[in-house]
Chains A and B, each alone.
Chain A
Amino acid sequence: MALLEVKNLDVTLATSRGPARAVRNLSFDLDRGQTLGIVGESGCGKSMTALALLGLLPENGVTTGSISLGGQDLLALDEDAMCGVRGNRISMIFQEPMTSLNPLHTIGRQVTEPMLIHQGMTRDEARAEAVRLLERVGIASARQRLDNYPHQLSGGQRQRVMIAMALSCKPDVLIADEPTTALDVTIQGQILDLIADLVSESGMALILISHDLGVIAETVDRVLVMYGGAGVETGPTASLFQHLAHPYTQGLFAAVPKLGSGGKGKSRTRLSTIPGLVPELADLPPGCTFADRCDLADDKCAGTMPTVHDVANDAGHRVACLKPDDAKSRMATSEAGA
């Protein structure tokens, strides 16, 4: 049994326009030391998935399915027991380091807080551990930094503090939700490397959420592509990037500007985009969520749940699509044309 098993996860939000399925029938599992990237456009349900894992959905959200951590069903836990899991066995790093730290509390107070509530450390022990953690995440003169306030730190430093805080109780699972999106490009790489190092050091599992395929490609072993709340393709990173089996994954990949590729002429600087807009969750078709924007889709796609196929001969690379062969042949022609 894997460390974290998510089965048929559904998150429904009650909105003024009726119930919206923010996550639909999502399943994945993750073992110690494994890294999973969840990729998709904003609003595809990747952050909702993370919040559902922590039991921190907004008040109008309802979760069904099962989330089991080390054999324990998290959805069956009451709020008090869930508080014992958060920050202790599952930790999370957020997108906005500028606003994710309390501006009125010192760094020391914020980093030691999880250790004080979960591990029963004394204040001195926690402070000593906080210094060690801050040093590990690469913050210079860590001891002095404990008494600083967030506004005295740069964005990159704040994100390092967030990481130290998330790691303070040696969690089994670390969720990083767009951890580098708000940072300068030069800092992004450093933070990603740091996260990767820490994961391999501690043997915890990592879920990295990003809309950036580059970030995903560099950091994780496995990728889960989400669209409209549903997982459309999942597989080992190399295989996924090689085959791009789902029409949406293809579109996502084509939308990334690539330097030096594309040869001569005007196509060089032109960005390919996926036609259409990201739809409102409440308006999604009952079948394949991508049917409205997919150029391969026919009438059947919008009404029928897509079937799951194995891709190539790679173990665990699966795609949920009614027309995997069309997608595959298109892939082949575009390869040939390139």
Chain B
Amino acid sequence: MSVFLAKRFLTFVATLLGASIVVFLVLEILPGDPSMTLLGADADEEAYAALRLKLGLDEPAVLRYFDWMWGMMQGDFGISYAYSVPVMELVWGAMALTVPLAIFAMLITIVVALGLGVFAASRHNKPGDYVVMAFSQLGIAVPNFWFGILLILFFAVNLGWFKAGGFVQWEDGVWLAVKSLFLPAIALATVQAAILARTTRSAVLETFREDYVRTARAKGLTRSQTLWRHVLRNALIPVITVMGLQFANLLAGTIVIESVFSLPGLGKLVFQGIANRDMPVVKDIVLLLAGMVIVVNFVVDVTYAVIDPRLKVHDV
């Protein structure tokens, strides 16, 4: 492993640890004793004690943290206060919606943004460029949940092409499930694609100004050969950086969009958890979401190393 990757891996592990500590402090220590909220203030002392024992609340905080972490690593997410079922079961079902939705939206974002960005760059200072840039300026300002509502009004209510909301489970047909995620994914992807298209355009334009692009042209490569062989891959580095940063916003957006389309994903689960004061659920989901962001950013770092040979070498 290269020095670059080793450093990044250490940062990755440290960030994951730090995030888990913050989540634990905020959601487990700050709120105080959950047995009060669960039983109400009128219960007798024995009931409190019994519950505290059952929930393991008498153990020191450090031990509870390690218990929690150790459990998470083995897939034991604890027991939901509200439903008395393993949190894992609840989370697993919700993930089957949220993760595909996020990936779906990211794919749309990437395809649309790279296409439009490269197109705009190749039409630099021409009408095509202006049109794409104007649309992206507008797209960046659209609130995704509003756009979701407008999509529902138009495509579901007016045209009847899609259902207004809800999720068809994967078991009931992959195509139907994908179809029920289509509008939400579009709502999520629009803003992200608008941002990424701008990044792509400026990255491509910037790369076109590089000396090695001039060298490629001096070798006799045509403009389009130069674009495909020498510009795109190099321009990908800033684009991927922005993609990584966008993923956090995309996940956050997913939570909001699930609410717009009444989708039973992690977002819905976490809000139920808040309403029910169901801390184990809230805690696990928050850490999962933060964890996904951290993992994606580590993947971005690995991708740098794949793209850029300067980072692959063993002795930096």
Contact = CB atoms under 8 A, between A and B. Distances in A.
Interface of A: 54, 56, 79-80, 83-88, 91-92, 94, 96, 99-105, 113-114, 117-118, 149, 151-152, 162, 165
B216 interface: yes
Contacts of A113: 216, 219, 221, 229
B221 A151 contact: no
A54 B219 CA distance: 10
A88 B217 CA distance: 12
Nearest to B233: A104
Secondary structure class of chain B's binding surface, majority of residues = helix
A83 B211 CA distance: 18
Shortest beta-carbon contacts, A-B, top 3: A87-B220, A87-B219, A99-B211
B230 A54 contact: no
Given A100-B214, A102-B216, A102-B234, A80 B310 contact: no
Contacts of B217: 54, 56, 86
Nearest to B234: A104
A91 B220 CA distance: 9
B257 to A, nearest CB: 36
Contacts of A162: 215
Contact of A80 (B215, B222, B234, B313): B222
Contacts of A94: 211, 214-215, 218
Contact of B212 (A79, A88, A100, A151): A100
A129 B310 CA distance: 26
27 contacts: A54-B217, A56-B214, A80-B222, A84-B220, A86-B218, A86-B220, A87-B221, A88-B220, A92-B218, A94-B215, A99-B212, A100-B211, A101-B215, A102-B216, A103-B234, A103-B308, A103-B309, A105-B230, A113-B216, A113-B221, A114-B219, A117-B219, A149-B310, A151-B313, A162-B215, A165-B215, A165-B219
A165 B221 CA distance: 13
B29 interface: no
A303 to B, nearest CB: 37
B220 A101 contact: no
Contact of B215 (A100, A117, A151): A100
Contacts of B309: 103-104, 149, 151
Nearest to A86: B220
Interface residues of B, number: 23
Contact of A54 (B211, B216, B218, B225): B218
Contact of A151 (B214, B220, B222, B310): B310
Nearest to A95: B211
Nearest to A99: B211
Given A113-B219, A117-B220, A149-B310, A103 B212 contact: yes
A87 B313 CA distance: 31
Given A56-B214, A86-B219, A151-B310, 6 more contacts: A54-B217, A83-B220, A87-B218, A99-B211, A105-B230, A165-B215
A99 B207 CA distance: 12
Contacts of A92: 218
Interface in B284-316: 307-310, 313
A312 to B, nearest CB: 38
Contacts of B212: 99-103
A213 B144 CA distance: 64
Contact of A99 (B210, B307, B313): B210
A169 to B, nearest CB: 8
B221 A83 contact: yes
Given A94-B211, A151-B309, A102 B230 contact: yes
A118 B230 contact: no
Interface string B193-227: 00000000000000000111011111111110100
A83 B230 CA distance: 16
Nearest to B124: A59
A105 B230 CA distance: 8
B297 to A, nearest CB: 22
Given A94-B211, A96-B211, A103 B310 contact: yes
A5 B57 CA distance: 91
Interface string B234-271: 10000000000000000000000000000000000000
Nearest to B216: A102
B221 A117 contact: yes
Nearest to B217: A56
A85 B211 contact: no
Contacts of A80: 222
A317 B222 CA distance: 39
